[in-house]
């Protein structure tokens, strides 16, 4: 069976929402081409080896989000759903940009390699390297390898929100601690926390497919003894208290769930939230502070913001 590449021309602000639309209708893979990201990497000498130089020949001014689908009887229903979702983005405060949708058919024999050129081993933070399964990589002694393939859930380590979350986890995690990853997607942040020393991590997602993908990735990365993936909505069903709570979602959800976060965080515990567009930074900061967290770090990449806070139990 042949495949179809559906390309949406949009903005950095809307990337996650468009990618989620693709995943919801069964994309076999998603590629994000953000020229700002590529040029930023070009300036980093240490990262140059991780980029295929031929990509610079095809960059456009807009962000392109590409999804890959089987060319079957459901294709046009999927396209209709994607178009409607893109038209609704402004109602969520997201700039859809051009919002155009185009299709290109790809022969079965070309499919396997048509999108793999975009995924190379990528260094994040000081010692984390994310690699797809088909790429060989020989780590240094102090490097931590996380193997994630692009597929049916968001979070392959290439988007600013994921990168900032991983950088903050690396900065704040310490061996023997516990963590919860809210809206875990592929499980990449839960896996990161475990590989950096957490003894117990719970990842939660309300999407059945994301839960399935995350469990598979946990097994592939050999952390199934420390990471449990559960189906659930945000922090529902989570009890006791935790040393670290991680949420790479969107500002509205982060703000709404802060009252739940407070009683589930140990004194001195760490909150890491990402997926916040710049325009919502102050609202998110205020909500985090009102829940009893002192803001300790604010990271900004592109249009996105990530926060870290330390919980101070003022009821003591």
- Average of pLDDT values for 148-170? 77
pTM above 0.85, yes or no: no
pLDDT tens column, 205-219? 988 878 888 999 999
- Average of pLDDT values for 244-272? 92
Q: What is the pLDDT of residue 306?
A: 95
- Name the pLDDT band for 270 (thresholds 50, 70, 90): very high
Q: What is the pLDDT of residue 42?
A: 45
How much is the CA Rg of the chain, to the nearest whole Å? 19
Higher pLDDT, 15 or 36: 15
- Average of pLDDT values for 278-302? 93
Q: Which domains does the chain have, with CATH numbers?
A: 3-107 (3.30.70.120), 155-311 (3.40.50.150)
Q: Is the pLDDT of residue 55 over 50?
A: no
In terms of phi and psi (left: phi > 0; alpha: psi -120 to 50; beta: otherwise), the region of 258 is: alpha
Picking from 185, 36, 57, the residue whose alpha carbon sits closest to that of residue 117 is 57
- Name the pLDDT band for 47 (thresholds 50, 70, 90): very low
Q: What is the pLDDT of residue 238?
A: 86
Beta pairing class for 144-147 and 128-131? parallel
- Name the pLDDT band for 117 (thresholds 50, 70, 90): low
- Name the pLDDT band for 188 (thresholds 50, 70, 90): very high
pLDDT tens column, 62-83? 789 988 888 888 888 889 999 9
Cα–Cα distance between 23 and 26 in angstroms, integer? Answer: 5
Highest-scoring range by mean pLDDT, 71-75, 250-254, 271-275? 271-275
Q: What is the pLDDT of residue 108?
A: 61
Cα–Cα distance between 269 and 42 in angstroms, integer? Answer: 36
Q: Is the pLDDT of residue 119 over 90?
A: no
Q: What is the pLDDT of residue 111?
A: 56
Q: What is the pLDDT of residue 286?
A: 96
Helical pair 188-195 and 208-220, crossing angle rounded to 10 deg? 30
Name residue 122's beta-bridge partners. Answer: 130
Cα–Cα distance between 142 and 165 in angstroms, integer? Answer: 20
SS3 187: coil
- Average of pLDDT values for 230-238? 87
| Least confident interval from 39-48, 59-68, 126-135, 288-297 | 39-48
pLDDT tens column, 19-29? 888 888 888 77
Picking from 96, 62, 75, 63, the residue whose alpha carbon sits closest to that of residue 22 is 75
Q: Is the pLDDT of residue 37 over 80?
A: no
Structure tokens at 311: 């919980």
What sign has the CA pseudo-torsion 298, 308, 211, 123?
A: positive
Structure tokens at 237: 């069903």
Q: Is the pLDDT of residue 106 over 80?
A: no
pLDDT tens column, 129-143? 998 888 888 878 889
């Amino acid at each position: 069976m042949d495949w179809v590449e559906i390309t949406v021309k949009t903005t950095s602000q809307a990337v996650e929402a468009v990618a989620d639309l693709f995943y919801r209708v069964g994309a076999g893979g998603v590629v994000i081409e953000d020229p700002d990201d590529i040029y930023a990497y070009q300036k980093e000498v240490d990262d140059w080896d991780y980029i295929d130089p031929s990509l610079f020949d095809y960059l456009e001014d807009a962000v392109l989000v590409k999804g890959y689908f089987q060319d079957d009887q459901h294709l046009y229903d999927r396209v209709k759903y994607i178009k409607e979702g893109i038209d609704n983005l402004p109602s969520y405060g997201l700039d859809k940009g051009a919002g155009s949708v185009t299709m290109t058919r790809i022969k079965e024999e070309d499919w396997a390699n048509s999108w793999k050129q975009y995924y190379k081993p990528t260094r994040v933070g000081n010692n984390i390297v994310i690699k797809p399964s088909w790429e060989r990589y020989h780590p240094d002694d102090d490097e931590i390898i996380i193997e994630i393939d692009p597929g049916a859930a968001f979070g392959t380590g290439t988007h600013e929100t994921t990168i900032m979350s991983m950088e903050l986890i690396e900065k704040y995690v310490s061996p023997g601690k516990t963590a919860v990853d809210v809206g875990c997607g592929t499980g990449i942040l839960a896996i990161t926390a475990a590989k950096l020393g957490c003894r117990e991590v719970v990842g939660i997602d309300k999407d059945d497919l994301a839960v399935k993908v995350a469990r598979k990735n946990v097994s592939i990365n050999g952390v199934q003894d420390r990471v449990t993936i559960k189906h659930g909505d945000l922090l529902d069903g989570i009890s006791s208290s935790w040393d670290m709570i991680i949420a790479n979602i969107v500002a509205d959800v982060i703000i709404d769930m802060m009252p739940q976060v407070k009683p589930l965080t140990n004194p001195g515990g760490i909150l890491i939230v990402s997926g916040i567009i710049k325009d919502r930074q102050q609202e998110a900061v205020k909500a985090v502070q009102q829940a009893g967290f002192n803001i300790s770090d604010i990271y900004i990449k592109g249009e996105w913001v990530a926060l870290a806070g330390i919980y101070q139990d003022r009821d003591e």
